[in-house]
Every structure is written in C-alpha cells, then in structure tokens.
Structure 1
Amino acid sequence: MEDMNPVFPFPFQAYDIQKKFMRELYFTIKNSELGIFESPTGTGKSLSICCGALQWYSDNRKKTIQDIENDITKIKTDLKNLTDSEDWLQAEYDKIKKNQTLTELQFKLDKIKKQDELFNEMKNRVAKQKSNSNNNFNGNQFSNSNKIDKEDVNKENILETEGNDDDLIVDICDKNSSDDEELDDDLNEESEHLAVKIYISSRTHSQLSQFIGEVKRTVFKERIRVVTLASRQHYCINSDVTRLKNVNLINERCLDMQKCKTKSTSVGDDGKVLKRTKTKSCSGCPYYNQNNITKLKERLLVDIMDMEDLVKCGKELKACPYYAARMALDDAQVVLLSHAGIVNSGARSGFSIKLKDNILILDEAHGLTAALENAHSAPVSLKQLSSVKTYLNFYINKYRARLNSKNLLLLNQMNFVVGKLLGILKPKIEKEQNDTKIYTLEDFVIKSEIDHLNLRPLVEFCKETRLAPKLHGFSMRYTQEVLEEENKRKTINQKSSFENFISKIKKTDDKVVEEIKEVKTSQLPTETSAGSGLYAVLDFLDMLCDRSENGRVLIQIAEDNTSQLKYLLLNTAEHFADIVSQCRSVILAGGTMEPISEFESLLTNNRTVERVNIVKCAHVVPEDNVLAVCLNKGPSNGNLNFSYENRMSNELLNEVGRLLRNVSSIVPGGVVCFLPSYAYELTVYQHLLNNKFIDSISKKKVIFREPKSATEVEQVLQKFATAVRKREGDRTGALLLSVVGGKLSEGLNFSDDLGRCVIVIGMPYPNVKSPELQEKMNYLNRTIGNAAGNQYYENLCMKAVNQCIGRAVRHASDYACVLLVDERYSRPHTTAALPYFVQKSLLTGCTFGQTIGSIARFFSKHKEMKQKN
C-alpha cells in the first residue's frame, strides 16, 4: 500500500535521521499511538514535524474522502440489488436504514468538498481586498480620525462616570457571561467540523513563530490553514486595554467594552459623527467589529501569519487579532499554541479547544512537567494579600449601605478569609522568620481557621459578581483616599510605641524621622497589587476547594516581605491523563528527552500502555564531529567532585582555574562554561580574579559573564560574538561564564565558532533540603516506590545538563567538544541519561592529561580538514 512507504516533500535533500523522524511520526499518528521523539537541536526537528504531520494529514483526508465514496457506491449497489423478499417489512426497514446512511455519507462528502470551494473563494476575496487596500488605504487619515474619536469617547467617559459608583457595586445578578459567548454565537454558527485538527504546542511564542516559518517552506503552504492562538495580553491592540498589564484585568476590560458596543452612533455622508446615544459609562472597542474581524480571519487563513504578522495586519484592518484567531479556529487545520494554553484546562476551555480525536504534538517537551506544575501552582504573596485586605475593608465600609444583606455577608466572609491567610504569613514570634512549611489541604484550612467555611460558594460569588475587576476599579478611583486613611490608622495604632521609641533616643535628627515616615508610607499597598491580587487569591482558593490528596500548600515566611502561599501539585500526570485520553495521538518531541522514563510515566500515568513509541534520532553531524569527555581528575591529579560540601574548597577552585586556562589555550573560537548557580559563578570568578587566573586566561580569551538582568543578555551576547570573530594578537576567541538553568542555557544558538567547547562544571542538583522538593520525592517514593523520588531528583539535574549541552553543534557541518567536569558524570546511570548523540562518542573516567590530549587532537584534525576544503 502507498501508506506503507509515504513520500515526504522535504524542501531539500533530507538526511536519513530526518526521513526516520518523519516516517516514525507518520505511522505513530496513523496508528493512533503515543510517541516520545528525541531529535537533537540543529537536526531540522521543526521542519520534520511539519512535513511528517502534514503529509499524514493530507493522506488521511484523501483516504477519508475515498472511504466515504466507496461506502456510497457500495450502498447504492446494495439498494439496486435489493429484491423482493417474503419478509417485506424487514426489507423495507433495511432500505430505509441504507437510505439514511447514504444521506449522512453524502452530507459529509459534500461538506468536506465544500470546504475546498469555500477556501478558494476566500483566497479570491483576500486577493481583491489586498488590491483595494493598496489603492485606497491612507494611514495618516486612519490614525487621525481614530484619535479624534477616542478623544470624544474619553470626554464622554469622564462626564458619565463622575460621582457615580454604580459600576463598582457588586450585584449577584451581574454575572459575567461565558468568555466571548456573544462572539461565538454570532461568528461561529457552524462550529461543527469534520476534519481532524493537528495541535502543535511549544514552550514560547517565538518558537511557535519558527513553526510558521517552517510551514511556509513546505509544499503544503498553499492549501493548509494555520492559526496561532494566544491570550489577549499578546494580541490586544487597544492601548486602553493593554496598559492594564495583568492578563485577568485585560480580559475583564475587553469583555466590559464588548457590552458597551450597543452604543448607537449616527454617521453622516461625510463620515462625521452626527449623534451619539449614551447607554453606558464606557465605549465599545473600535477593533471589535464583526466585518473587520471576518476580513482579518480570512487573511490569516489564506496567508499563514505568525503572531507579529497578525497583530500588524489587525492594526491595518482595524480588527482585533485575538478574536480573528478565535474565529479562525474552526476552519483551521493546524493550530499552534503555547504549552500553557494546552496544560491548563481553563485555558483550553477559554480558547474552545476540542482535543477529542485530534492530534497533539508538544515540541520542546522537556519543559512539559514544569509547565504542568506552573499551571497548577497558584502562588499568592504577602503583598497581594495585604493589598486585597486593605482595599476590601475600605470597599465594604464605603458601600455598606448600598449592599444587600447577602452580598454584604459574603463580602465580609471573603474579607475574613483574606485576613486569615494574611495572618498565616505574619508570624507572631520572631523565630518563625525565614521558615518554610508544607501542609496537606485539610491541615492547612484548619491551621488558617477557615475550615468551617464552604469556600466554593464564596469563590463562585466573587466570579459571578466580578468582584476582582470591581475592586481594581475601586482601587484606581480611590487610591489616594485609601492611602490617606490607612496612613492615619497606622499612625494612631503606632503612636504610643513610636513615642516610646523616640523617648529612648537622646539625640534624634530630622533625617531619622523622615526615614521612619518613608518606611511607613512604602509599606502601604498600591492599586496595582490590589487589582491583580484578588485574582491570585481566588486561584489559590479554587485549588483549596478540590481538597485533592495530591495537593499541598507551601508556606514561605521571609523577613524581606517576600512571604507567600503556594499550591503544590504532586502528581502532574493525573492532569495530563485527561489530555492523553481525549487525543487520537499525543507526541512529545524535543532535542533532549532523556531521561525518557519521566515522559513515559507522564503519558501512561503509571498504567500499562502498549502504544508508546520511543524514537531516538542521531545527530545530523558525523560521530567524529562531537567529542564528549567525562573528566574525573584535574590538572593537579585531584579528584573532581563538585558536591555541595566540596565545591568551595580552594583546591577545587584552583583546579577550575587551571582547567579553564588550559582549555582556553587549545580550543579555538568560543568556549561556554556552565556553572551550577549564580552564587557559585560569582565565587569562581572572584577566585580566578584574586589568584591571577583571569590574567592568564585573558591572554587567550576575552572573558564575559552571564548578566542577571534579562535586558542585558543581548548586549553581552553581541560582545561575545564580536570577540570570537575579531581575534587580535594572541587571543583566539572568548570565554563566557554562564549558569545552568539561567538565561543562556536554553533557546540560544552557539553554533560554529561561537561554541566550539561547552563545559559543564559540577552537577546542578537542586537543593535537596528544600521542603518542596522533599515533599515531592516522598510522595513519589510512597506512591510509586523503587526509589522514584531519587530518580526524579536525578532527572532534574540531568535535564538541566542536557539543555546546556544542546547549545552547541547546531548543523550538519558543525563540530564541538563537550566537557563534563565531575567524576560523578562517569557513573553508568548518569551517562545513560545524556543525549543519544553524546553517548556515542563519550569518553568516561578521563584524567586531565588524557582529556587535553583528546581535545588537542580533535581540533587539530578539524583544522586540517578545514584547510583542505
């Protein structure tokens, strides 16, 4: 059969591993299996996913049509061959049933074929719109008229809202309609679809944009319909909404503006506004226009746009990109979204994502467990609780006379709960400072003294009355009044103790008094934390309502006002199991998927499942283009063991200095050295500086350090690249000191001369004494056994190491050395957790002399090959 040997239309000559990847992906989907695919970064993984999955989609669509046509032909033949039977009643029944089936099949076939006709019509409309737009569109007129209209609207808003707080009063009937219900009713009347969808998820939106670029390189670009889903925070182009920053507030403001679209406006022949009818104290969003959104949706489906293109086109057409993407979802065949949009059931529901019988491919799946944990963590800080408590108090007191008895009772209960949570984070005795504790959900509600309350109705009340956005509006409108009243209250409460403090000081200058006042003022909550804080509190209470046996509450109490409560999900697999059960096929793909066992348990949820297909692809580079070494002994022949107890010793730090000095002298180009933490990186650098190692290394390499600020990363990388390429005097490149799990360990490309050697010093185990980690390990040991907790601990370390290794060797002709500096890397179970392409050339248990010799020969050989070419 043709399916047994599918042809993949790769845009250029595919490598064998790419052919293997596409073939395995094709049949994993075809057989409705689960798959774990490891293909090293730089091997064209994204393009292989696109070609393999889209070829299956194309073949499956053809097969579906062919099967329906065959069934129709067979039924028609059967109907013709029906003969009179003695049992005429049964014969008539069979005839009716066959005719019903025939009608259903014909309807399906017509609908599938009509999709192509509609898509072609859509292409023609889009082409015509582009032509008209190029001839008629005047950007300056657009922006000026919009500006005038917005100014008029703002004036109306000011007039209408002055002295009127009706919009801030909670009302039990003021229920928030289901997310975008009106739009869904108006624009998605024919939501039923027959075609299977392919959902492709990745860690970041920039990685999703890469998939868009890869799809455009394939032969499918003219006939495939692709949409990228993202939140309003990423897609909103209304500056009045985006300035709110917090995603929940953006969502609420957007929905509020939709409700205001009923405002009628009379427009004259010249386009000027003649009359406005004021119906509400707000204006509808100018970008929420059904006709314009429809045009943008069609442009999106025809042109295949990434997020940046969609936003740009939305501004041009004066149409909302968020709703255009939502509207295009039903017609799309490939849907791109972030991991957060998939793993969170609330996000899936908000986007109206239907996974049942569809395909889910998760790229960069090494971060899937972390994404699941983050989606169900619900942290709430001391600052947020304090702010919510302050503003909720003033809210209740200000509107007490205008609230009905039931709402007032529920608001007081909410205020009581927030106060109890706040009390948990404000220890009464000094020895509880800098303390971390973990409780089961039952123990936590008892400790916080809220076990007598039914939290579910309270949470539902807050959501139905939209208390969070109302409290935000209250905080924006009455910030100054609240701060003044709070300042007075604190002054009165602290007066006696403050006077006692002053009396004990014999000489007090004005500066000291001013500093005390500044501290008191800075401790007051801000309107920003009040606006978003209640959302965090409600998320946390939502988790408490479930009372899951696999849930825990982490209490972190700190002196520096960073105390917080956090929900811990101990079993991420139980939430992912629902996704796996719905999908026809789930594929986890990544550059470094070791240790595989973690992802197997995530897919199977500790059940016996025979349909997990594990595919490990080699690298596109030849085996001798990678040299991997586990270094056991340093230049002075001392054992290299960077355990937490040993790593600060002068002897070991000296070994690091000698190692970097020697490697820098023989490795051409760029060397990237990863250290376990920012603190240890600072310790190493200071030691190298104080002991003159920096001076020696600088003769061969310009030294750079990873910045802690994300805004400085690009600048450091540019300087590093310049130093590598612009070699002056005896200098042969640059050395970059980085941190495992930092800003340079994931997603960055150190190809060719930028990363000729990657060094990982020590094993970056997380703090085993962390209560959070200990609780997770104990849970795994208790539920799974077989030292599952220790395995999880090892996996955390090795996943971080593998991400560092993946920064180098990015294409077929690239070459690099990987140096793992710690004797523990030579352990069999550790080497087994390294990427497949590293294991093939790995040298274990090496001394420093053996290592330096191997590195020298490696680069000498590639220098000769380069000269020959």
Structure 2
Amino acid sequence: MEPSQYNFCHPYEPYPIQLDFMTNLYRCIEDGKVGIFESPTGTGKSLSLICGALTWLRDYERRSLDSIPENQSESDWLLQAEVAAQRQSLMLEREELELKLARLRKEESLRRQKKVENGGAKKPRTVQAGLQDHLSPDDDFLVEEYDSEGDTSNMPLSSTGGFSTATQALLDKLQKSTKTEVETAQQDRLKIIFCSRTHSQLTQFVNELRRVKPPSSIPSDLMVSSGLSDLEETVKHLALGSRKNLCINPEVSRLSSTAAINERCLELQKPGTAKDKKCPYLPSKEDKERVELFRDKVIAQIKDIEDIGELGRSMELCPYYAGRAAIGQAEVLTLPYPLLLQKSAREALGVSLKGNVIIIDEAHNLMDAIADTFSVSLRLNQLEEAVQQMTGYAVRFKNRLKGKNRVYVTQVIRLLNSLTECMRGSIGGSVNAEITVTAAQLMSGKGVDQIKPHKLLQYLHESKLCHKVEGYTEAQKVESESTAGKGAMMQFQNFLIVLMNPDEEGRFFISRQDKDIIVRYTLLDPREHFRHIVEESRAVILAGGTMSPMSDYSDYLFSYINRNRLETYSFGHVITPTNLFAQAVVTGPSGVEFDFTYGKRGSESMIAELGNVIGRTCKAVPDGVVVFFPSYDYLSQAVSVWGKLPTSCPLIQCFSEAKVVFQESRGVAADELLRDYAMAVDTGKGALLLSVIGGKLSEGINFSDRLGRAVIAVGLPFPNANGGEWKAKMQHIEEIRYQQRRLEGMKEGECKAAAKSASREFYENACMRAINQSIGRVIRHKNDYAAILVVDRRFSTDRIRQKLPGWIQDSMGKGAQNWQDVEDGMANFFQGKP
C-alpha cells in the first residue's frame, strides 16, 4: 500500500533522505516488521518518525472504514446495509468526539486569554489540613496479623521489574486479576507507542508532534456527507509516567524512592482503610464524570507530562489513575523506557502492546537499558542501615509481633546479616577487586538455608513490612536532616527478587566503589525480556542517530525472529560532502605513531605528540574544539604530562594562548561547564573542551555550529575486559555463539573459534557505539560544518573503520594520511567557510 501523501504530512519540505526514511518506515510498519533505523542527529529524525508513523496510522484507519468483507457479492444488499450502518455509527462517534474536543480547545484558549488579561494571577491551592505534616503514632507501623501459607495470589509484581524470565512466568500464573476503583477504558484504537530514555527527550518529541497535521482517518465521502469536511482531526496524544512523575499528593510524592511512593500509594487505597486516611485525589466511582472530563481535556490538546500533572492539580484528580481513561481514545502514547520494558509497569498503567506499533528512539543503548532495568545493586552502608532499622523495629514491637510476623522479621534480619557478612568477607582489603559470587554464597549465613526466598518475598509484599519499617524509622528521625538511610529496606526488598533468578540469566558482582562495598546483579541476556514486546506488537522500530555497528541487534536481541522480518536502514546526512572533513590520524607532527592500547597509552612521548596535534588543531580551527578521551583517568594523566614537559611553553599554556581551555571531571556539573564553554566561544577567541567518551558531555549534548567546529576522538574506549562484569558478558556471548554453531553441525574447533570471534566483535561494537555517539555531536543541521579527527593507528584498519557511521566513512575515504596532509586538508576545509 502506498502512503496517501507524498510528503507524509511533513510540516516543511522534506529532504530526500527524510522522504527515504519515512517511506521505509511506512513500509516496515505496514509489513509488520522489526526495523532498525540509523539517521544522524540533525537530519530531522524525530519529525520523520512522527510523520511516517502517523501517516500510516491514519491511512490504516481510513482503509479499515472503507473495507468491505471479502467473499461478499456487491449484490448482497443486506451486508451492504450493515456495513453502511457500522460506518455511520463510527462516524457519529468520531463526530461527537471531535466536536467535543474542539469545544474544549476553545474553552482552554479563552481561559488562557483571560489569565493573561488578569496578569497571570493564580489562586493558591490549599492542601487538606494535616495531610502534609501528619505523623502517625507507632501503632500505624505495626504489621497486621499474618497467616498466609503458600497463597501468592495477592503478591503484586515488582515495581522495579527485577524478576527473571522464569520467576516472572511463575508469578504471572499465580497472579489473579486485580480491580481498581476506576475502570480502564477498553483499548479500541490502534496506537503508536513512542519511547525514549528520559522525560526531557519525550518533551522534545511532544513539541515536534505539535507541528504535525496528519491526514484524516475518516474517508472523505463520510466527511462530506456529514458536513464535517472543515473539521480538523487533531492527534490524540497521551503522555504516560510513573507515580513518581505524576503523583500530586504531597504526603506521597515527598517520599525518598520510587518503590516507597508506589507502596504508599497502594496502601492509601487499600480496602478497609478509613475514608479520611485514603488519598483524597484518587478517583472513585462517584467521580466518573470528572474522570471523563479529565480524559477529554488530556487528549483535546497535545500535552507533555508536566501539563498533565498540572491538569490533575487544577482538577484535584490523580493524573496517574485518571489518565488511564484516555488510553482507549489515544492514537499516540509516549512513555520512558522502563514503563515499556517492564510488564508489571505496563499492566499497572493499563497499556496493551497487542497489535500496536512500538517506536523506540535513542535506541543505540537499548540493550544496556534493558540490562539496567532488570539489574539492581545494594551498598554495604544501605545493608548496615537496614540492619539497624530492622533491629530497632524488632526491639520496639518485640512483645507485639506474633506467629508468622515474628518468624519473618527474624528471617529478614538473618538474611540482612548474611548479605553483610558475605560482602565484607569476599572483597578483602583490595581497592580495585571485583569478584563474582552466587546467590548461594550471598545466602550462606547462619540459619539462612532454612529461608524460602519466594515465601519471604510474598510476606514482604503482603505485609508492607519494609515500608512500615522505613516509616517507623523516619518518624523517629523527624528532627534529623539526614537522608542516608532512606530507601534502604525497599532496596533490600528489590534485591531479594533477583536472588531467586537462575544463574544463566545474570551474575552477582561484589566490588569497592566510592569507599563503600557494593553488590550488584547484572542481567546478561536482554533477549527474553524484550521478546514479548516483539511478539505482541504489530511492528517494532528502533531508531537512533548512531546505531552502528548494527550486528549486535540481529545477533543478540532479535536472534529468535525470522531474518526476513528484520530490516536495517542507515541513512546519510543532510549536509553536503563539502561540509564535513573526517580523517584518521595515525602519526603526529613528529612522526610518532598513535597507539593508545592499554599497554602503550602511558608513553609520555606519545601524549606529548597528542598535545601537539591538539594545539595545531586549535590554531587551524576557529571557534570551539572538543576532544574526547577514553576515560577520566587518562584525561588527567595527559593534562599532567602536558604540564610538566621540559619545553619553553607547557602545552596547556600553549592551548590557552589559542583558546580558552575547559576540562570535564567527575565532580563538575555538565550544565555549568557547557554554559561557560559556550560563553568563551562567543567571545570570539574560541574554546577547547577536554571531555570524556561516555561522560556527561558525550551524549545528548549539541555542539552545533560554533560550539563544535572540530571534534577529536583519542583512542578507543574499550571496557575493562578483565573486570568481572565484562568477563561474564563475553563468556555469555561465547556460549550463545558456541551453541548456535553446534546446532549448525560445525566441528568443535570451529565452534570455539566462532565463539571467540563473536565475543571480540561484541566487545569492539560496544566501544565503537560510544565513539560514534561522541563524534556525532558536532554536525546538527543542514548548514552545519565541522572536522572529525579520530586519533589512533587502529582507525586506519578496515575492521575498525567499517564500524563508523556510513556518512563519516564516506568522507574519510580509504588509507591513512600523515599529519601534514591532515593539517593541510583541514586548513583548506575551513578556508572560505563563514
């Protein structure tokens, strides 16, 4: 099927590569495929995603209204009459909805105009007396009588999503459906579900969405016959967020952790809770009309997450729960990664993936995001605080804890002590040690072998013990400003979940970090946690500015799907070739070869040569120059060497003579550093920013125009292959590839060789994705121009070069050049540029 509009309702005249992007996106969705789309930042990727997807959605709905059931004769007047009646009924529903939303938009416009005329005066909102400063007596923190044996039907799914695939499947079987006071609207409209990493990125998407006017989903003949041909069919959008983002109850929103907010929210709506203690904002059955008005107001105009929260406050209605009523009528849902990835979060929101289109933007780190979502860590100081909290709680209520409550409180203390002892004893005195441990080792303390983790977890969920312990502790420390112990018990409860996970899905690591000891569970295999998303939805689109190298997605995220269903696209840049100068720098001005491998990067002569390259680049390039180093430590080492070289002019001083120098460090706020750097560039002298790949300035920051006329990437930032986590990852990749080749009938030696090659490829790809993210920061729009220098002999090899984005490879050409050729080429490049 061809799109109804050649330009895909794009608000501007689209570039050829944008048309290509939207055409392939349209076909990918139509054919129900999994598509990976790489389009450099600055090429209008967000608008292309919106326009291509919305044009398809409206075309699809219009076709559905126009379609006549197959195998039916045109002379079957009875069927024709039935189809006509159904179309007319749907048209009347759409007509009523559009007119209602148009009226609400007009009312909102008049309200805003009146507010401006009144000088923006806003009536202060009052909070119910006692709600914010209420302190419960100790009795409120005592757990209720508990007598549950084996029934896990009331245990909610983890709010953190930390369950393993096997554990999640078991709990799905045990979990009974729960009812909420507000019924979730039936999802009767196919949707585009758009995800990104952060709410700020989603807000940017929403701003782009406001520019687009897609074609109508209603056939033109129905519009004309109904006299609605002039009625605008606006986009029905709903931004979804967690309770933490949307809660308007100050008693709940002030809590320290997401888990605590979730627990307290559920507690305030628990059956049997006194009416005056329930959340006053929670919609009830009596609020049906208010909820419907909230629903209509939410989709009448395109709102971001903050707008929805403000609407909830103005109507004194919980936006988290009331917003669910709008899901059914929404065409576009926006939500951050974790709410999509966790089944429990989707179910809590009432979001179904069935038959819908999933678009994930900024997807270059998707596999890491999945691993992060289903991983969890626990610090020793948190455990020590949790031990103190539980012990204090047990002492306070020792005479009132009966039966199973006494048993389970004792078990919690035993398990906390076991984890504490294991962490202290495993790491020893080594500062940089990182070891792998098993769940059995973590639970090897005295008496812990008698504990059944799933039973204990069930108890913690049902009794809300961790929340009550934290509440009791906080009530005892009301005079203290310290927040060190907040969330310790809830974090322990989250960690208990992953203790039940099978060993093959992840690993536990203990290491020293920031003068503390930390135990973390790392998910190694993201496939199964994303598989149900792929299988339930109509189509899945991964999009990003730098998705290269793409082989990891097909090999380790979508390895189970038919190769015919997976499509990959890499689009060029909107800039002309004359606006990019890219080169691999193999040797410096003095002929010293650049080899920043771990064993050789400490060479002071090579660091000095790197300083000469940076200094000469600063003289050749106007305005801003950004240099990315492989790590904070290496950046510090280079600066130290440059400052002590026995020369007439220390290199750092030479840099300062050409440009104002700024250096990123772990403790420096990125916003302040970027602001000062931009101000220095604006002075006309220019600025040099020494930054770090994978640091605060390597992703999501625009070094457009004068802020980044050149970017230099130093070396390749390979992760520590000797660290426990990367050893486990590479071993896991080897096991996957080994089993694949065994099934293909390969010999033992060939299987092992293929496995080693696969782990090396995976390791290199992780490094190159970080490089690509960093060097893509400087070209942001059609008229932008910049030089990109990648400094290391390895960039001259085909193996590494082919992992760079295509538009950079094309500019680079083949073969390495000496420094003089690079410097001359750079000078010619900037000559005549504005």
TM-score range, shorter chain: 0.7 to 0.9
Q: Distance in 2 between matches of 1:433 and 1:424?
A: 17
CA displacement, residues 306-338 of structure 1 (integer Å, 9 cap, x when unaligned): 123223333333333333433322221111111
CA displacement, residues 611-669 of structure 1 (integer Å, 9 cap, x when unaligned): 11111110000122111100110111011011122222210111011111111111111
Q: Find out whether 1:855 has 2:826 as its counterpart.
A: yes
1:15 alignment counterpart: 15
Q: Find out whether 1:643 has 2:593 as its counterpart.
A: no
Q: Find out whether 1:783 has 2:736 as its counterpart.
A: yes
Q: Which of 530, 533, 539 is the aligned partner of 2:488?
A: 533
- Residue 116 of structure 1: how far off its partner (Å): 4.6
Q: Find out whether 1:564 has 2:518 as its counterpart.
A: yes
2:507 alignment counterpart: 552
CA displacement, residues 157-187 of structure 1 (integer Å, 9 cap, x when unaligned): 45xx44x514432443896889999997443
Q: 2:654 is matched by which residue type in structure 1?
A: S
1:836 alignment counterpart: 806
Q: Find out whether 1:774 has 2:745 as its counterpart.
A: no
2:671 alignment counterpart: 714
- Equivalent position SS for 2:346: helix
Q: Which of 608, 633, 658 is the aligned partner of 1:700?
A: 658
- Equivalent position SS for 1:845: coil
- Residue 763 of structure 1: how far off its partner (Å): 0.8
Aligned pairs for 1:54-73 (under 5 A) are 54-67=54-67, 70-71=68-69
Q: Over the residues paired in the alignment, what is the CA RMSD in angstroms?
A: 3.2
2:772 alignment counterpart: 802
CA displacement, residues 261-312 of structure 1 (integer Å, 9 cap, x when unaligned): 986xxxxxxxxxxxxxxx55x3633576845554343222011011232233
Q: 1:285 is matched by which residue type in structure 2?
A: P
Asked if the contact 1:260/1:284 (under 8 Å) is kept, the reply is: no
Asked if the contact 2:202/2:334 (under 8 Å) is kept, the reply is: yes
Q: Which of 691, 705, 719 is the aligned partner of 1:752?
A: 705
Over 3 Å counting, the alpha-carbon distance change for 1:606 and 1:742 in structure 2 is: same
Aligned pairs for 1:21-170 (under 5 A) are 21-67=21-67, 70-71=68-69, 74=72, 77-78=75-76, 110-111=89-90, 114-125=93-104, 127-128=106-107, 131=110, 142-143=123-124, 146-147=126-127, 149-150=128-129, 153=131, 157=134, 161-162=136-137, 164-170=138-144
1:666 alignment counterpart: 620
- Residue 129 of structure 1: how far off its partner (Å): 6.2
Over 3 Å counting, the alpha-carbon distance change for 1:379 and 1:52 in structure 2 is: same
Q: Which of 223, 227, 230 is the aligned partner of 2:238?
A: 227
Asked if the contact 2:157/2:344 (under 8 Å) is kept, the reply is: no
2:223 alignment counterpart: none
- Residue 380 of structure 1: how far off its partner (Å): 1.3
Asked if the contact 1:629/1:842 (under 8 Å) is kept, the reply is: yes
Q: Distance in 1 between matches of 2:87 and 2:528?
A: 36
TM-score using structure 1 length: 0.82
Over 3 Å counting, the alpha-carbon distance change for 1:37 and 1:140 in structure 2 is: closer
- Equivalent position SS for 1:716: helix
Q: Provide the aligned length of Structure 1 versus Structure 2.
A: 769
Asked if the contact 2:191/2:332 (under 8 Å) is kept, the reply is: yes
Q: Find out whether 1:207 has 2:201 as its counterpart.
A: yes
Asked if the contact 1:261/1:284 (under 8 Å) is kept, the reply is: no
Asked if the contact 2:142/2:397 (under 8 Å) is kept, the reply is: no
Q: 2:89 is matched by which residue type in structure 1?
A: D
- Residue 3 of structure 1: how far off its partner (Å): 4.3
- Larger mean CA deviation between 597-606 and 14-23 belongs to 597-606
- Residue 709 of structure 1: how far off its partner (Å): 3.5
Over 3 Å counting, the alpha-carbon distance change for 1:173 and 1:143 in structure 2 is: farther
Asked if the contact 2:238/2:333 (under 8 Å) is kept, the reply is: yes
2:251 alignment counterpart: 240
Over 3 Å counting, the alpha-carbon distance change for 1:207 and 1:112 in structure 2 is: farther
Structure 1 gap ranges (5+): 81-97, 264-278, 484-525
- Residue 351 of structure 1: how far off its partner (Å): 2.0
- Equivalent position SS for 1:401: coil
- Residue 590 of structure 1: how far off its partner (Å): 0.5
Structure 2 gap ranges (5+): 149-153, 160-175, 215-231, 739-753
- Residue 139 of structure 1: how far off its partner (Å): 8.7
Q: Distance in 2 between matches of 1:838 and 1:571?
A: 31
Q: Distance in 2 between matches of 1:428 and 1:717?
A: 41
- Equivalent position SS for 1:245: coil
- Residue 367 of structure 1: how far off its partner (Å): 1.2
Q: 1:702 is matched by which residue type in structure 2?
A: V
Q: Distance in 2 between matches of 1:79 and 1:409?
A: 73
Q: 2:720 is matched by which residue type in structure 1?
A: N
Aligned pairs for 1:266-415 (under 5 A) are 282=277, 284-286=279-281, 290=287, 293-415=291-413
- Equivalent position SS for 1:699: helix
- Equivalent position SS for 1:624: helix
Q: Distance in 1 between matches of 2:313 and 2:351?
A: 26
Q: Distance in 2 between matches of 1:223 and 1:72?
A: 32
Q: Find out whether 1:846 has 2:817 as its counterpart.
A: yes
2:789 alignment counterpart: 819
Asked if the contact 1:472/1:532 (under 8 Å) is kept, the reply is: yes
Over 3 Å counting, the alpha-carbon distance change for 1:166 and 1:734 in structure 2 is: closer
Over 3 Å counting, the alpha-carbon distance change for 1:480 and 1:192 in structure 2 is: closer
Over 3 Å counting, the alpha-carbon distance change for 1:709 and 1:241 in structure 2 is: farther
Over 3 Å counting, the alpha-carbon distance change for 1:172 and 1:115 in structure 2 is: farther
Q: 2:809 is matched by which residue type in structure 1?
A: Q
- Equivalent position SS for 2:383: helix
Q: Distance in 1 between matches of 2:734 and 2:72?
A: 58
Q: Distance in 2 between matches of 1:845 and 1:700?
A: 27
- Equivalent position SS for 1:554: strand
- Equivalent position SS for 2:504: coil
Q: 2:29 is matched by which residue type in structure 1?
A: I
Q: 1:717 is matched by which residue type in structure 2?
A: L
Asked if the contact 2:507/2:524 (under 8 Å) is kept, the reply is: yes
- Equivalent position SS for 2:186: coil
Over 3 Å counting, the alpha-carbon distance change for 1:200 and 1:400 in structure 2 is: same
Identity rate, percent: 31
- Equivalent position SS for 1:379: strand
Asked if the contact 1:633/1:848 (under 8 Å) is kept, the reply is: yes
- Residue 449 of structure 1: how far off its partner (Å): 7.4
TM-score using structure 2 length: 0.85
Asked if the contact 1:632/1:847 (under 8 Å) is kept, the reply is: yes
1:218 alignment counterpart: 212
Over 3 Å counting, the alpha-carbon distance change for 1:130 and 1:697 in structure 2 is: closer
Q: 1:634 is matched by which residue type in structure 2?
A: G
- Equivalent position SS for 1:535: helix
Asked if the contact 1:675/1:761 (under 8 Å) is kept, the reply is: yes
Q: Which of 249, 252, 259 is the aligned partner of 2:263?
A: 252
Asked if the contact 1:643/1:762 (under 8 Å) is kept, the reply is: yes
Q: Distance in 1 between matches of 2:281 and 2:478?
A: 32
Q: Distance in 1 between matches of 2:272 and 2:18?
A: 52
Asked if the contact 1:576/1:602 (under 8 Å) is kept, the reply is: no
Asked if the contact 1:258/1:288 (under 8 Å) is kept, the reply is: no
Over 3 Å counting, the alpha-carbon distance change for 1:319 and 1:763 in structure 2 is: same
Q: 1:199 is matched by which residue type in structure 2?
A: I
1:523 alignment counterpart: none
Which structure would you say has the larger Rg? 1
- Residue 679 of structure 1: how far off its partner (Å): 1.4
Asked if the contact 2:354/2:536 (under 8 Å) is kept, the reply is: yes
Asked if the contact 1:629/1:818 (under 8 Å) is kept, the reply is: yes
Q: Distance in 2 between matches of 1:670 and 1:722?
A: 11
- Residue 829 of structure 1: how far off its partner (Å): 1.4
CA displacement, residues 410-456 of structure 1 (integer Å, 9 cap, x when unaligned): 22122211211111112289556653221344565558974443211
Q: 1:547 is matched by which residue type in structure 2?
A: P
Q: Which of 734, 749, 764 is the aligned partner of 2:687?
A: 734
2:417 alignment counterpart: 419
Q: Distance in 2 between matches of 1:238 and 1:827?
A: 58
- Residue 33 of structure 1: how far off its partner (Å): 0.7
